[in-house]
Structure 1
Amino acid sequence: MIGKAEYNETNSLLSRKLDKHGVLIAVHRGSSGGNIVENTIPAYKAALQQGGDILEIDVIKSVDGILYTFHDGQEKKLFHRSENIKTMYSAEIENLNLINSNYLRSSFKAERFEEVLSYFKGEVLINVDRAWDIWPELLETLDKHNMQKQILLKSPVFKENLQFLNQYETKYMFMPIIHSLEEIEIVLNYENINLVGMELIADSESHPLFQDDVIERLHSMNLFVWANAINLDNDKVLFAGLDDDTSLIHNPDQGWGRLFEKKIDIIQTDWPSLLATYRNLRKL
């Protein structure tokens, strides 16, 4: 089982999927392409159909308090607008059609978070990203949907977020974004958080967080290790270059394969179907 024994029931879906697959595939913003736009229900459905195990979604809050699945900063690409979505009212957001990969206006709009929750209630794991600044509103919404077994929260190691989770009654699964060994120790000091794993950021193979003894230590505490294979650009390295680009352009054994060898438990990717095929080949 993942995490502390007292949270076994909450963590049961995650534990069961890890036992079944060994390595889980987290899909970055769902799978978009053609007329299907990222962070929408169609994109999340496509991600699951391509072998994804976890939906990674971004959540923001409008000026009037409505939650949407959208990555702020992407407004120019997805709306052809320069204003940040967080400065808009819900009526304005819902009057905007999303731009597809052909730079044409689609019929899709930004999804309300509650609609996404209702649609995927059941057996789908959902990693909620970029919402740590609105956790009070976010967790109040989550409580209404009774989806504790499905929701995986993440945030950087911010004291205010850790204190909030430590005191919050509903113990949602939590994964901090870790940049240093010191941050691991900070998180471990909060005993009333349902800590299930850690996302490790390492810019090179010499980085302390890339080392096998760190991964082994986290595993010894029943915690999973999440690594990012996604490439946000050509410069930002998230896990020592063992990424999607390396796997697709050169050889999957040099990218995804080395993540398997390092006993990474969850790999975030933009190419779930290819990673799922590779995972199946490794099982054989």
Structure 2
Amino acid sequence: MTAAPSTLTAEELRAELANLFDRAGGPLIITHRGTTLGSFPDNTVRAAIAAQRSGTDVVEVDVIRSLDGVYYLFHNGYEEKHFLSGTDLRTLASAEIDERSFQWQGERGTLRPARLTDLLEALPDTWLNIDRSWFYWPELLDLLTEHGAARRVLLKSPPEAAALAALAAHDTPFLYYPIVTTPEQFAEVRRVEGVNLVGAEVLASTPADPYAEPAAVAALAEEFPLVQVNALNLENGARLYLGHDDEAAILDGPDAGWGPLVRSGATAIQTDWPHLLRDYLVQQGLRTAG
């Protein structure tokens, strides 16, 4: 697929992001793989709808590609969990993927993997953070451009040279932020010309890490609108921001888990519990109830 040349400018897309922040009126809530409760598996259209109705600002999704070039919402490596089969979906043609069915809590095996285009069409106004997808740039960027999604898509990746080169060379100046652990990594990204850089996702697993210091996070936020920290509790047990996370917020109280993230100076928090995080932000006077 070769997309038509984009007429969008970097300034126009940054203005769309500014409008998103204006509507939020406080830290953005980014929901990890959608709201995955009950019969709603992650990385599905129904989970994205649930996140939207739970008060999120942005839905984060992962993307894979079938052997014949069709893009699906899925995080590779979770095939056994979701389908009771270890077969890597990326090794299958789209017709085979379409026959897979989720085996998930209340779900009775009737829900099929969703194509990325299904999500774009089902929620045409919802902001998306497309995470694991950089392996497929620039072809995926062509698809997003063709579907007119650039005004509501945030892209991120590790600061890998190949991904940054593909992004910089593309006609559409997608909003982008890297996943970084040090200011030096971020500085390397800044040196890449042609990237519409709007901030960073910062990680800090120990107090000795550079972004564990709120001043370092605040310095980024003074210059860039989107500085994200994570409240996620991943299956691999990684400490994404000093152990301040959703589990602490749920079990020990929201100020124990989400309070330090808010006070870090970040402007966006990724969570698996958007409705509860939103309630906390409202209680703290950082968001309005509406």
TM-score tier by shorter-chain length is over 0.9
Q: TM-score, normalised by structure 1?
A: 0.93
* Residue of structure 2 equivalent to 1:238: 240
Distance 2:151 2:284 in 1: 28
What is the aligned partner in structure 2 of residue 174 from structure 1? Answer: 176
How many residue pairs get matched? 277
C-alpha displacement at 1:47, in angstroms? Answer: 0.5
Match for residue 37 of structure 2 among 33, 36, 43: 33
Q: Which residue of 1 is the match for residue 153 of structure 2?
A: 151
Instruction: State the alpha-carbon separation in 1 of the partners of residues 180 and 103 from structure 2.
Output: 33
| TM-align CA RMSD | 1.5
What is the alpha-carbon distance in structure 2 between the residues aligned to residue 57 and residue 233 of structure 1?
Answer: 16
Deviations 1:10-68 (A, max 9, x none): 12332122233210111111011222221111110000111111000010000111100
Give distance in 1, aligned partners of 2:15 and 2:219: 22
Deviations 1:172-228 (A, max 9, x none): 000101022221110110131111110001102331112123222212323421011
Gaps of 5+ in 1: 1-5
Aligned to 1:191: 193
Structure 2: 5+ residue runs without aligned partners? 1-8
Give the whole-Å Cα distance in 1 for the aligned partners of 2:251 and 2:93. Answer: 42
Compute the displacement of 1:234 (Å). Answer: 7.2
Distance 1:51 1:91 in 2: 35
Normalising by structure 2, we get a TM-score of 0.91
Aligned to 2:5: none
Give 3-state SS (helix, strand or coil) of 1:9's partner. Answer: helix
Retained in 1: the 8 A contact 2:218–2:266? no
Report the Cα distance in structure 2 between the residues aligned to 1:222 and 1:269, rounded to whole angstroms: 21
More off after superposition, 193-202 vs 93-102: 93-102
- Match 2:113 to one of 110, 114, 125: 110
Amino acid at match of 2:255: D
What is the letter of the counterpart of residue 39 of structure 1? N
C-alpha distance in 2 between matches for 1:130 and 1:47: 19
Query: Among residues 245, 251, 256, which one is paired with 2:253 in the alignment?
Result: 251
Instruction: Give the SS at the match of 2:60.
Output: strand
Shift of residue 245 of structure 1?
Answer: 0.9
Of the candidates 50, 55, 60, which is equivalent to residue 56 of structure 1? Answer: 60
Fraction of identical pairs, as percent: 35
What is the rounded CA distance, in whole Å, between the counterparts of 1:282 and 1:118 in structure 2? 35
Indicate the SS of the match to 1:225. strand
Aligned equivalents of 2:268, 2:159: Cα separation in 1: 19
Q: How many angstroms apart in 1 are the aligned matches of 2:237 and 2:169?
A: 38
